C-alpha cells in the first residue's frame, strides 16, 4: 500500500479543519489574545498600563510563573483584578473629601496605587507589606507612578509587638513565587524553608505614634487577619468606616473567622459577606451560616 505524500496529508487535515470552522476559531482567539496582550504591555518588560474604571496607572509585575500570571491572566480575561471590590471602593470613596486608606498585605501594590489615584492628592495611603521581595515591587510601583500621598511600611501588623517569621516554601522557590511567605504561621514542616524575620506591631500603637485615623481598610494577610483585627480594635471603634477583610482557612494563634466577625461587631460595625468578590457580579449579602465552616478565599465587608 502506497502512503500519500506528507504534503497531501497536511492539506487534507487543513481542509477538514477549515470545513469544521476550527481555523477561524483559532485565528479569532489568537487575534483577541494578541490584542489583549499587546494592549496590556504598552510599556516594555513587565509593566502594564491599566485603566481601572477610568483610574489609569502603571503596574509592574515581575516575570515569574505565578506572580505575573496572577495579574496578567486576570487582565486578559476580565476587566480588572477583583473587579467588584475596586468598583465598590470607587463608590465608597465618593463620601470622603480626603480619604485615608490602609492597605494591609499590599503585595505588589495594586490597591495601594489604585486608591492613591482614586482618592487624589488629598488622600493618604498607608501600605503594609512585610515580605521583602514583595515590598521591593511595591516600592517600585509607587515610584513608577510618582505617588506623593503613599507611606510604605515593611512591617507586619499583628495583635502584639514582637518579631515574627514569614515562612517560605521549598516547593515554589524555584518558580519565583514563595508559597506561604506571606504567612506568619507554620506550614507543614516538610515544606518549610528558611524564614524571614520581620517586625510585628499592633496598628493601634502606630496610630498613636503617627496620629493615623484611617477611614477605609483592606486586609489580605493569608491567615493573620485575626491578629491584624485584634491589633486595631480601638482604631476600628474610633475611626474606620469601611473594611474589606479576606478570610483564609489557616489562621494564626487560634483566631477564627467568627472571632474576626465578633471583633468587628464589637467595634460597632455591621458585617456582611462580599460574595464573588473577585468577579464582575460580586454582591454584598448577609453572612451565611456556612461562612464559619468554609472560609477560604471569602471576604468580609463591614461598615458603620
154-169 pLDDT per residue, tens: 999 999 998 887 765 4
Per-residue burial over 18-45, b if 16 or more Cβ lie within 10 Å, else e, is eeeeeeeeeeeeeeeeeeeeeebeeeee
Per-residue model confidence (pLDDT) at position 176? 33
Distance CA(3)–CA(18), nearest Å, equals 23
Query: Pick the residue with more confidence: 72 or 154?
Result: 154
Instruction: Check: CB of residue 191 under 8 Å from CB of residue 170.
Output: yes
Distances in whole angstroms, Cα of residue 276 to Cα of each of 115, 217, 221, 243: 21, 19, 19, 17
Instruction: Check: CB of residue 219 under 8 Å from CB of residue 225.
Output: yes
- Is the four-CA dihedral 96, 261, 220, 48 of positive or negative sign? negative
Task: State pLDDT tens for residues 35-71.
Answer: 444 444 444 457 888 888 899 999 988 765 445 556 6
Query: Pick the residue with more confidence: 48 or 124?
Result: 124
Per-residue burial over 197-228, b if 16 or more Cβ lie within 10 Å, else e, is ebebbbbbebbeeeebebbbbbbbbbbbbbbb
Distance CA(96)–CA(99), nearest Å, equals 5
Across the strands, what pairs with 100? Answer: 124
Q: If you average pLDDT over residues 220-236, what whole number do you get?
A: 94
- Secondary structure of residue 4 in the 3-state scheme: coil
pLDDT band of residue 253 (cuts 50, 70, 90) is confident
pLDDT band of residue 277 (cuts 50, 70, 90) is very high
Distance CA(108)–CA(106), nearest Å, equals 6
Q: What's the pTM value of the predicted model, to 2 decimals?
A: 0.79
Query: DSSP letter string over 107-120?
Result: TTSHHHHHHHHHH-
Per-residue model confidence (pLDDT) at position 35? 42
Is residue 177 scored above 70 in pLDDT? Answer: no
Amino acid at each position: 500500500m502506497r502512503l500519500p505524500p506528507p504534503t497531501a496529508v497536511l492539506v487534507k487535515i487543513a481542509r477538514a479543519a477549515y470545513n469544521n470552522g476550527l481555523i477561524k476559531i483559532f485565528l479569532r482567539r489568537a487575534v483577541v489574545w494578541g490584542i489583549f496582550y499587546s494592549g496590556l504591555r504598552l510599556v516594555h518588560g513587565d509593566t502594564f498600563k491599566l485603566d481601572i474604571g477610568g483610574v489609569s496607572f502603571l503596574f509592574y509585575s515581575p516575570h515569574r510563573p505565578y506572580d505575573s500570571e496572577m495579574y496578567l491572566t486576570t487582565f486578559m480575561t476580565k476587566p480588572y483584578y477583583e473587579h467588584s471590590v475596586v468598583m465598590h471602593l470607587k463608590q465608597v470613596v465618593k463620601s470622603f473629601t480626603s480619604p485615608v486608606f490602609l492597605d494591609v498585605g499590599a503585595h505588589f501594590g495594586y490597591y495601594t496605587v489604585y486608591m492613591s489615584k482614586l482618592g487624589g492628592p488629598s488622600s493618604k495611603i498607608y501600605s503594609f507589606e512585610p515580605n521583602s521581595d514583595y515590598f521591593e515591587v511595591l516600592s517600585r510601583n509607587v515610584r513608577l507612578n510618582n505617588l506623593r500621598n503613599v507611606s510604605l511600611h515593611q512591617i507586619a501588623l499583628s495583635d502584639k509587638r514582637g518579631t515574627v517569621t514569614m515562612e517560605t516554601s521549598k516547593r515554589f522557590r524555584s518558580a519565583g513565587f514563595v508559597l506561604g511567605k506571606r504567612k506568619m504561621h507554620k506550614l507543614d514542616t516538610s515544606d518549610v524553608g528558611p524564614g524571614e524575620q520581620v517586625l510585628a506591631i499592633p496598628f493601634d500603637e502606630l496610630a498613636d505614634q503617627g496620629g493615623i485615623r484611617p477611614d477605609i481598610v483592606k486586609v489580605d494577610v493569608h491567615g493573620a487577619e485575626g491578629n491584624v483585627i485584634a491589633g486595631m480594635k480601638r482604631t476600628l471603634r474610633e475611626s474606620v468606616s469601611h473594611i474589606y477583610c479576606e478570610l483564609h482557612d489557616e489562621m494564626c494563634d487560634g483566631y477564627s473567622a467568627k472571632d474576626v466577625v465578633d471583633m468587628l461587631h464589637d467595634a460597632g460595625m455591621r458585617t456582611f459577606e462580599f460574595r464573588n468578590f473577585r468577579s464582575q457580579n460580586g454582591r454584598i449579602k448577609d453572612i451565611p451560616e456556612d461562612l464559619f465552616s468554609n472560609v477560604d478565599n471569602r471576604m468580609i465587608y463591614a461598615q458603620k
